[in-house]
């Protein structure tokens, strides 16, 4: 028997963040200022799929880009044998 589970596609989510940022006419530096980050490293990690934004940061991203959180996150369905 197999079960389906949703899994966040980190690389796809990172691509979405980059595309949405660019579509909004924002730079990484603009996002860095919005979040109050000392460095842009976290944003670059999100964009490259090396890390995911926290839920509260996803809320800020969705407001900054004018989209729903569902438009940022890419979800895959994985089949797992049990």
Please state, in angstroms and as integers, the Cα–Cα distance from residue 23 to each residue in 1, 16, 27, 64, following that order.
Answer: 43, 10, 10, 11
Distance CA 57, CA 46 (A): 11
What pLDDT sits at residue 67?
98
What pLDDT sits at residue 37?
97
Which structural domains are found in the chain, ordered by start?
Answer: 2-81 (1.10.260.40)
Distance CA 69, CA 82 (A): 31
Judge if pTM exceeds 0.95.
no
pLDDT in tens, the chain (82 residues): 788 999 999 999 999 999 999 999 999 999 999 999 999 999 999 999 999 999 999 999 999 999 999 999 999 998 887 6
Distance CA 26, CA 18 (A): 10
What pLDDT sits at residue 78?
86
CB atoms within 10 A of CB 31: 23
């Amino acid at each position: 028997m197999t079960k389906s589970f949703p899994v966040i596609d980190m690389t796809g989510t990172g691509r979405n963040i980059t595309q949405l940022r660019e579509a909004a006419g924002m730079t990484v530096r603009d996002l860095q200022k919005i979040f109050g980050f000392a460095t842009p490293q976290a944003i670059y990690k999100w964009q490259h799929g090396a890390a995911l934004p926290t839920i509260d940061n996803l809320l800020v991203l969705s407001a900054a880009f004018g989209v729903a959180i569902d438009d940022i996150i890419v979800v895959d369905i994985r089949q797992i044998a049990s």
